[in-house]
Structures are given as structure tokens and as C-alpha cells.
Amino acid sequence: MAKVSILFIFLACFLLSDLVVSQRLARYNVDPSSLTVSGLSAGAAMATQFHFAHSSEVFGAGIVAGCHSPVPYNCAAGGLVAATMCMTMPAATNVNTLITQTNQRHSNGQIDSPANIRGDRVFIFHGTRDTTVMPGNGVHVQTMYTHFGAQIATEFTLPASHGFPSHNFGAACSASSANTAWINNCDYRGAFLMLNHLYGGNLIAPNDNSAIPGNLMNFDQAEFFAFGPALSSMANTGFVYVPTDCQFGAQCRLHVAFHGCLQSSSNVGNTFALRAGYLETAEVNNIIVLFPQTISLMLTNPNACFDWWGYLNNLFATRQGNQIIATHRMISRIIRG
């Protein structure tokens, strides 16, 4: 009898904990015209893909260099070989060809009209000490966004390695940040400066203790996939930060932050979400931040990257891409319920 009771208690605690970490993503009072995206590394490529795929709904993008980006939209459409060339041989990238292919994707009904990007705010960061992705890629991203009429701010001068630039957490700015969740301490408020540009330059600068860790919540990602998130290299659980005022009905903005390779919850827990600097800025400016999460696939995606080279299928950079579909459903839930 004692063994049965212990087993019952264990199962009850397990089920209760699963309910706690897998709550349903809720609707909030969000201004639909406030949607912006950003990403680090492969997440930066994902942010660019999502921006172009849903440019009628997304009004700004932050592109932060890291392990695998920034690269221009559609640069890796040729698969892993093309992706490697995009990263390591920027001189071989023909931006005019990518622009033509982008327009063709719109003509084929795969993405929104890139004309929607005119006037959108874009922030591009690429450190001078990034030895994985050559500096020319940041310029290519700028060239492509300039062609489509975006309002661009850049930072290409900081001696940063491949990681997210922070002012108070992480490895030394020019050092590897593999042991600090791919965040570098560059005495540079990367998240605030990026979000401030995306939202017009009038955000309140936060204090270091502005964030409320309890407002970073886990939510069930599985419900946004027809056949289970693992088949799309996505986790069962994602993160969302909901500022206090947003929880009580204030009108808020919405930002989506895509993590980089080896930066998912299965690799670093919630450290990227908690320590990159997004939350402080979000709390004092009423910005809800959605952090979708990937998982690794042993053969095709061992580093838990977002799909920016087609490891799932060749529609990865379009509205029909598995991860883009699911993320769009999450966004729709937050805005429309």
C-alpha cells in the first residue's frame, strides 16, 4: 500500500509540474502594428525569413551576427553548401540575384510582397571579431534591405565575437561565449539599442534590475503543430515574457526573439531569454517577448538551429515553412486569441 501511495504521489507531482511548465499561450491586448522580430546567429536568419514571409504583418527586424548569420534573405536556398558559402565567402554572394529570387517567391505566392518592407525599421549588428561569419555578410543584409526601402541602423565596429552583445553578462566581448549561452559582455546594451531603433527611438532605458524573472513563463508549443513539434525540430515548450502591465490589460507591443544554434532551452535553459537584455527593456516599455524554442535532430540539425538552409524542406523561408507556420500561429494567439 505504501508503495502504491508513493507511486501515486510521484505521478501526481509529475503531472502537476507538466501543467505548470506547459501552460497555454494566452491572448493579450497587443497593437497588431507593433510586431517586430529579431534573432542571433541562425535565429537572425530566421528573423529575416519571417520578416520577408510575413512582411504585411511584421514592421521591423533586428539582425544580430553570430554563429551562422547575418546573411541576406534566401541566401541559403541551395541547401547546406549554399549556406556555408553565404557564411564564409560573402564576396561570392550576388545580392541582385537574391533580390530577383525574392520577388519571384512573392510572384509564386510563397511570401508577402517585399514592397511591404518599405519604411520598416531594421537593426543590423556584426562584430569585427566574428571569425565564423565574414563581416561582408552584414553589408549584404544592409544592401538587400536598402533595396526594399527599410530604415536601417547598423553597428559594424564593435570588437565582438559571435554572440549577443550585452553590457553586463557573458564572456569577454572578443572571446568565445560558448560557456555563457552565446552572450558576450561588450559594455553595449544590444537588446535595448536594437528595440529602441525598431520602435522609433523613444523607448525608456531600463535599469539592470527592471526585469521581473517571474514574468518569463513557459508555454505549450506543441498545440501549434499538426503532427508534433519534434518533427519540425521544435520543442514542446517555449518561453514568453509578459510585462506586469500587459498581464493586467494594458496595450502592449509584441516582439519575437529567435535564439541561435546551441542556444535553445535544451542547450542553455532559459539563460538567453533571461540574460541577453530583452526582458529589462520589455518590462519598462510594455513589450511582450516571445521566445520560440527548437530541439536538435541527430542527422539533419544536431545543433538545434532554426531552419535557415532547408533541413526540413525547401519551403523553409516561406509562409509554408513548418517553423514559420507554427511561429505565426503563436503570434496570432497572442494578438487575436
Active site residues: 41, 130, 162
Q: Grid coordinates representing 215?
A: 514574468
Q: Grid coordinates representing 88?
A: 564564409
For cell 501515486, name the residue. Answer: 8
Pick from 334, 333, 315: which is nearest to 53 by CA? 315
Q: Can you tell me the distance from the alpha carbon of 76 to that of 192, in angstroms, rounded to the nearest whole number?
A: 29
Q: Is the dihedral of CA 247, 273, 124, 334 positive or negative?
A: negative
Q: Which strand ranges, in their side-by-side order, compose the sheet holding 121-125? A: 151-155, 121-125, 60-64, 36-40, 253-258, 287-291, 237-241, 216-220
DSSP 8-state code for residue 117: G
- Residue by residue, DSSP assigns 166-232 as ESSSSEETTS--TTTTTEEE-S--HHHHHHHHHTTT-PPPPPTT---GGGEEEEE-GGG-SS-GGGG
Cβ atoms of 239 and 291 closer than 8 Å: yes
CA 203 from centroid of its chain's CA atoms = 20
